[in-house]
């Protein structure tokens, strides 16, 4: 075996340990919601983190990297070496004690956050969030890959990105979005979504969401869909990607959020066999990941043609609500644009504002300009500036997201990047297949899936996000596509 | 830290890795029933097995053991050193390749077994079972703790036991059980269990089983109950013990089997905090474990007084079946003694014969006197000799149990030992608390639980089975208690 082959084999074990770590997390989220103690689990998570860290940072890896650099490598091997080097450089900067502390803290914080959110009491979460933020600052300081701490953290989720690059994208969109929301809401013929205030049986919602993803080629022989508080997707092996959903929120959250998670899962499931169990066997960045989930959720899953196919089934499932309710109105209802408190339930347009809020707060938090105990107030103040409304309590405000509890600071901006990437990719898809939406009317979604598999999914992390978007669309990330997409979509819906 | 403290800390990590391995298994059984591939999981299981093996067999452990032997140890430290030494001696005899192969094979065999059972087609399972048996033989040869291979395997599950000791217990009971079954069935006034042929809603069964274990002090803050094909109990952390059940079998299997698994779980949950995360934090042997599960399932859960409390609730849940059906007849029905095919559904009396069948087959299989491909035929022939009936297919015969797929050969005899231990312990309990059954009538079960916690559960593996039974009952295992128990119980039920 040469050095790159040795690295490949060595990192297969690390990948497996990562999958095991994912199972520990998946299981906690899905199965331990009512547990009184997660201390045992926390110790297990930190043990696996320690093992991963020790393996990545072993001298052997450093030596093999040096040897591999001298070899003539093919494209995949090159990408593998790039990612292995990146991991090695990052992890060797972190002391093992910090890795363990972050891992243990995240398990306990997840529990505290859940309790705090349930009781809408920020004080339950405050202390451990302070610790979490401090640990993330310390981590960023040790990693020191960028001049500013926040960029260092962002780069962990969106390799190649930094604060300035994102700010330069978000800043010009921010006023445009605020204006666009106002403009839509000035319409004299706005959609009405009161139909969603009716009762929709939870079991039927879950059944329908599974029916839809099955039709979208989600294979239950290689994955699952389970109910949780906060939906997420997790890959537990090269042939085991699990999504989660909730039926507790107002309809049709379960449906749209299931399609969203499906978009993540189908990306992971489409990575070519050659990459299985390698460091490249995952989506290339959170932004690209989110482009897939949001494309399926919003561009496909809220399109007129999608509902031309599905609506009759929904009418059969919920005749008491939908039998006499026109498709046209239903389609308008699920595309209503209006300021609301919960990010994951936000529409495609206001969604970006929810992200910009977090992006700006995270920046200040990491730089110490604001303190954890000020978060609830700052959240509410900034929320009003961006969305014009004030959360009535912290469960609907600063406590709504799980991310910070897991130490995932710098993750949020990738969500909105996903919207932008998605719109740009989809514009290209439509250029190639102008009649794609006719397929949807017939319940045929594999043309889009095949395109994505061929051009994006199969490659896993071979290409970095910026390289990938250029390969697929011929240009760098360009937010005009998104702005054009929402204008073309929402003006007609709002009869403007 | 002195040597024993170092060992304690070192083995805490091993315990955690074992818990992680348990989660990998629990998740496969509960969540991956419909998976097309478990290869990724198999690799993860074998990786963890390898890590555990490497840790146990490290030179450091050998050195620390020698140092610890020179120290003055307290009772717990002594027991810890005994178990650590045992593990070290066992594992150092096994080459890591064998450990990995056994682990990987067991995951694939579990899948093949499930498929074979579903289709009642032994050929699907045959090849991997052959490999499994060979691997177990090889393991026993390497371990070489007893003159015969089967004793070496038995000792893994029931430390201190061997083939001869068990044969000496089982052999005299065998004809007595066969006679007793015949005698009961010669009664002119036998119980009638046709009431169980009616339909019992599966959700209600599951709800009731949870209601019962809750009343028996199972704390859902430290455990779960989930549906599976083949019920089992698994501890995933010191404060996380999960039981499983099935509602698919004829009523009241779900109820009795849930109480059975509860008995296992409540043992693990009652181990004192001092032992958490140590090598002693588990039941001391499979036989003692089974004494707890069978005591709760049969001696308590099929007693007249238990049903005097629960039957009205059951009548409310299933009025269409039970409203006008007398308690007396229900109690007789759930205590029917009659030859049947499936071990886990067998009554308390014929159960031992199911075990003796496996015990004798395993002995011959491990010694090479019979081959895997002969198993279906031998199973059926021997089954007829012991129970007087012949399984109509392999799903109801040789394919019914999961154990062999996991390589657990030598495990079965501990089940019947459990019946015997259980009856002996319970006789002691009644000596101390002669009016215990009056509690049951009032739905009060904590007096028994407290006794078991105080005398058995809290100690985990501090005392070996033979020591424990002597401490608790004042004598060695004595099967007379079981024979007396079944006579006193079943003659009245059979009006003899």
Average pLDDT over residues B61-79: 98
Q: In degrees, to the nearest 5, what angle opens at C-alpha B238 toward C-alphas B237 and B239?
A: 90
Distance CA A106, CA A437 (A): 43
**How close B32 comes to chain A (CA, Å)?**
8
Indicate which of B237, B275, B277 best probes the interface with A, i.e. most A CBs within 10 Å of its own CB: B237
Q: What is the pLDDT of residue B229?
A: 83
Chain segment A99-111, per-residue pLDDT in tens: 999 988 998 999 8
The strand pairing partners of B244, in sequence order, are B226
pLDDT of B344 over the 90 cut:
no
Radius of gyration of chain B, Cα coordinates, nearest whole angstrom = 22
Could you tell me which residues of chain A have a Cβ less than 8 Å from any Cβ in chain B?
A: 13, 16-17, 19-20, 23-24, 27, 31-32, 34-37, 39-41, 43-44, 47-48, 51, 219-222, 224, 236-240, 277
**How close A237 comes to chain B (CA, Å)?**
5
The strand pairing partners of B233, in sequence order, are B243
Per the structure block, which two tokens stand in for A254? 């379960």
Distance CA B275, CA B107 (A): 30
Rounded mean pLDDT of chain A?
97
Nearest CA in chain B to A44: B16
**How close B380 comes to chain A (CA, Å)?**
35
CB atoms within 10 A of CB B334: 21
Distance CA A368, CA A136 (A): 12
Percent of chain A residues past pLDDT 90, beyond the cut: 96
CA count, 13 A, side-chain hemisphere, A84: 32
Chain segment B27-60, per-residue pLDDT in tens: 999 999 999 989 999 999 999 999 999 999 999 9
Distance CA B19, CA B13 (A): 10
Chain segment B197-239, per-residue pLDDT in tens: 999 999 999 999 999 999 999 999 999 999 998 899 999 999 9
Q: What confidence category does residue B458 fall into, taking pLDDT thresholds of 50, 70 and 90?
A: very high
pTM: 0.92
Q: In degrees, to the nearest 5, what angle opens at C-alpha A88 toward C-alphas A85 and A92?
A: 145
Residues of A in contact with B40 (CB under 8 A): 16, 19, 236-240, 277
Per the structure block, which two tokens stand in for B298? 């049969």
In this complex, the residue of B23, B40, B238 whose CB is nearest that of residue A238 is B40
Cis peptide before B252 (omega within 30 of 0): yes
Residue of A427, A412, A434, A415 whose CA lies nearest to A486: A427
Contacts of B316-325 with C-beta under 8 Å, sequence gap 24+, read B317/B204, B317/B207, B317/B208, B318/B200, B318/B201, B318/B204, B320/B198, B321/B195, B321/B198, B321/B199, B321/B200, B322/B195, B325/B195
Three-class DSSP category at B394: coil
Q: What is the pLDDT of residue A232?
A: 94
Put simply, the answer to whether B48 touches A20 (Cβ < 8 Å) is: yes
So what's the ipTM on this one? 0.91
Percent of chain B residues past pLDDT 90, beyond the cut: 96
Q: What is the pLDDT of residue B249?
A: 82
Q: What is the pLDDT of residue A344?
A: 87
Q: Which of A91, A104, A158, A261 is catalytic?
A: A261
DSSP B308-346: HHHHHHHHHH-HHHHTTS-HHHHHHHTT-----S-GGG-
pLDDT of B441 over the 90 cut:
yes
CA count, 13 A, side-chain hemisphere, B116: 25
Element (H, E) at A82: helix A75-92
Q: What confidence category does residue A414 fall into, taking pLDDT thresholds of 50, 70 and 90?
A: very high
Residue of B398, B429, B456, B416 whose CA lies nearest to B116: B398
CB B12 within 8 A of CB B275: no
Q: What confidence category does residue A308 fall into, taking pLDDT thresholds of 50, 70 and 90?
A: very high
In this complex, the residue of B37, B47, B238 whose CB is nearest that of residue A222 is B37
Q: Which of B91, B261, B297, B348 is catalytic?
A: B261
Cis peptide before A252 (omega within 30 of 0): yes
Q: In degrees, to the nearest 5, what angle opens at C-alpha A56 toward C-alphas A51 and A59?
A: 110
CB A169 within 8 A of CB A420: yes
Note the helical H segments in A346-406: 351-366, 375-387
**CA A398, A404, A406, A412 torsion: positive or negative?**
positive
For tokens 């690799």, what's the residue? B43
Element (H, E) at A235: strand A233-237
Residues of B in contact with A224 (CB under 8 A): 31
Q: What is the pLDDT of residue A229?
A: 83
Average pLDDT over residues A383-396: 97
Number of H helices, E strands in chain A: 21, 3
pLDDT of A298 over the 90 cut:
yes
In this complex, the residue of B13, B35, B219 whose CB is nearest that of residue A47 is B13
pLDDT of A249 over the 90 cut:
no
Chain segment B475-484, per-residue pLDDT in tens: 999 999 999 9
Q: What is the pLDDT of residue B270?
A: 98
DSSP A167-219: HHHHHHHHHHHHHHHHHHHT-SS----GGGGS---HHHHHHHHHHHHHHTT--
Per the structure block, which two tokens stand in for B191? 């119980």
Average pLDDT over residues A347-365: 97
CB atoms within 10 A of CB B305: 16
CB A261 within 8 A of CB A301: no
Residues of B in contact with A48 (CB under 8 A): 20
Put simply, the answer to whether A221 touches B35 (Cβ < 8 Å) is: yes
Indicate which of A18, A20, A25, A39 best probes the interface with B, i.e. most B CBs within 10 Å of its own CB: A20
Distant-in-sequence, close-in-space partners of A269: CB < 8 Å, separation ≥ 6: A218, A219, A222, A223, A239, A241, A457
Query: Which DSSP letter does residue A240 get?
Result: E
DSSP A316-362: HH-HHHHTTS-HHHHHHHTT-----S-GGG--TTTHHHHHHHHHHHH
* A-to-B residue pairs, Cβ atoms closer than 8 angstroms: 94
Percent of chain A residues past pLDDT 70, beyond the cut: 100
Put simply, the answer to whether B277 touches A31 (Cβ < 8 Å) is: no
Put simply, the answer to whether B277 touches A35 (Cβ < 8 Å) is: no
CB B258 within 8 A of CB B225: yes
Q: What is the pLDDT of residue A165?
A: 98
Indicate which of A55, A107, A237, A281 best probes the interface with B, i.e. most B CBs within 10 Å of its own CB: A237
Indicate which of B17, B41, B228 best probes the interface with A, i.e. most A CBs within 10 Å of its own CB: B41
Q: What is the dihedral of CA B132, B134, B138, B139, to 10 degrees?
A: 20
Three-class DSSP category at A407: coil
Distant-in-sequence, close-in-space partners of B471: CB < 8 Å, separation ≥ 6: B455, B463
**How close A13 comes to chain B (CA, Å)?**
7
Phi, psi of B441 (to 5 degrees): -55, -30
Q: What confidence category does residue A230 fall into, taking pLDDT thresholds of 50, 70 and 90?
A: confident
Active site residue B261: yes
CA count, 13 A, side-chain hemisphere, B25: 28
Residues comprising chain A, all counted: 496
Per the structure block, which two tokens stand in for A212? 């839809």
Put simply, the answer to whether A20 touches B17 (Cβ < 8 Å) is: no
Distance CA B173, CA B356 (A): 10
Chain segment A31-73, per-residue pLDDT in tens: 999 999 899 999 999 999 999 999 999 999 999 999 999 999 9
Element (H, E) at A227: strand A223-227
Distant-in-sequence, close-in-space partners of A261: CB < 8 Å, separation ≥ 6: A225, A231, A232, A233, A243, A244, A245, A293
CB B373 within 8 A of CB B387: no
Average pLDDT over residues B445-456: 98
Note the helical H segments in A216-317: 253-269, 286-294, 304-317
Q: In degrees, to the nearest 5, what angle opens at C-alpha B294 toward C-alphas B293 and B297?
A: 85
Chain segment B271-294, per-residue pLDDT in tens: 999 999 999 999 999 999 999 999
**How close B234 comes to chain A (CA, Å)?**
14
CB B426 within 8 A of CB B440: no
CA count, 13 A, side-chain hemisphere, A154: 26
Distance CA B390, CA B380 (A): 6
Nearest CA in chain B to A40: B237
Three-class DSSP category at B495: coil
């Amino acid at each position: 075996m040469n050095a790159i082959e040795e690295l490949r084999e060595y990192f297969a074990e690390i990948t497996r340990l990562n999958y095991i770590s994912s199972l520990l997390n998946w299981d906690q989220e899905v199965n331990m919601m009512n547990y009184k103690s997660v201390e045992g689990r926390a110790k297990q998570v930190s043990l696996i983190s320690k093992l991963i860290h020790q393996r990545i940072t072993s001298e052997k890896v450093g030596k093999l990297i040096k040897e591999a650099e001298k070899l003539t490598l093919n494209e995949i091997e090159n990408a593998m070496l790039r990612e292995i080097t990146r991991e090695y450089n990052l992890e060797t900067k972190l002391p093992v004690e910090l890795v363990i502390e972050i891992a243990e803290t995240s398990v306990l914080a997840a529990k505290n956050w859940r309790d705090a959110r349930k009781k809408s009491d920020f004080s339950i979460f405050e202390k451990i969030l302070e610790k979490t933020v401090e640990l993330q600052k310390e981590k960023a300081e040790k990693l020191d890959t960028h001049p500013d701490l926040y960029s260092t953290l962002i780069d962990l989720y969106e390799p190649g990105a930094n604060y300035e690059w994102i700010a330069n994208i978000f800043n010009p969109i921010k006023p445009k979005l605020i204006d666009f929301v106002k403009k839509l809401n000035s319409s004299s013929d706005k959609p009405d979504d009161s139909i969603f205030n009716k009762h929709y049986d939870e079991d039927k919602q879950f059944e329908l969401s599974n029916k839809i993803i099955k039709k979208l080629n989600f294979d239950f022989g290689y994955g699952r869909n389970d109910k949780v508080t906060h939906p997420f997707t997790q890959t537990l092996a090269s042939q085991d990607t699990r999504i989660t959903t909730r039926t507790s929120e107002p309809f049709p959250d379960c449906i749209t959020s299931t399609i969203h998670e499906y978009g993540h899962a189908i990306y992971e499931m489409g990575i070519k066999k050659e990459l299985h169990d390698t460091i490249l066997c995952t989506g290339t960045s959170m932004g690209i990941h989110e482009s897939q989930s949001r494309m399926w959720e919003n561009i496909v899953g809220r399109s007129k043609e999608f509902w031309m196919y599905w609506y009759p089934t929904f009418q059969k499932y919920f005749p008491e609500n939908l039998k006499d309710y026109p498709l046209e109105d239903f389609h308008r209802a699920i595309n209503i644009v209006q300021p609301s408190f919960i990010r994951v339930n936000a529409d495609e347009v206001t969604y970006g504002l929810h992200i910009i809020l977090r992006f700006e707060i995270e920046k200040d938090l990491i730089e110490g300009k604001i303190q954890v105990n000020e978060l609830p107030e700052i959240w509410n103040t900034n929320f009003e500036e961006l969305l014009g409304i004030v959360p009535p309590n912290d469960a609907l405000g600063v406590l709504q997201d799980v991310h910070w509890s897991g130490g995932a600071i710098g993750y949020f901006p990738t969500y909105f990047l996903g919207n932008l990437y998605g719109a740009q990719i989809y514009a290209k898809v439509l250029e190639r297949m102008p009649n794609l939406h006719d397929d949807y009317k017939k319940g045929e979604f594999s043309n889009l899936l095949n395109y994505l598999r061929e051009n994006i999914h199969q490659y896993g992390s071979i290409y970095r996000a910026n390289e990938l978007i250029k390969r697929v669309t011929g240009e760098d990330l360009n937010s005009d596509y998104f702005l054009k997409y929402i204008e073309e979509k929402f003006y007609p819906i709002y009869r403007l």
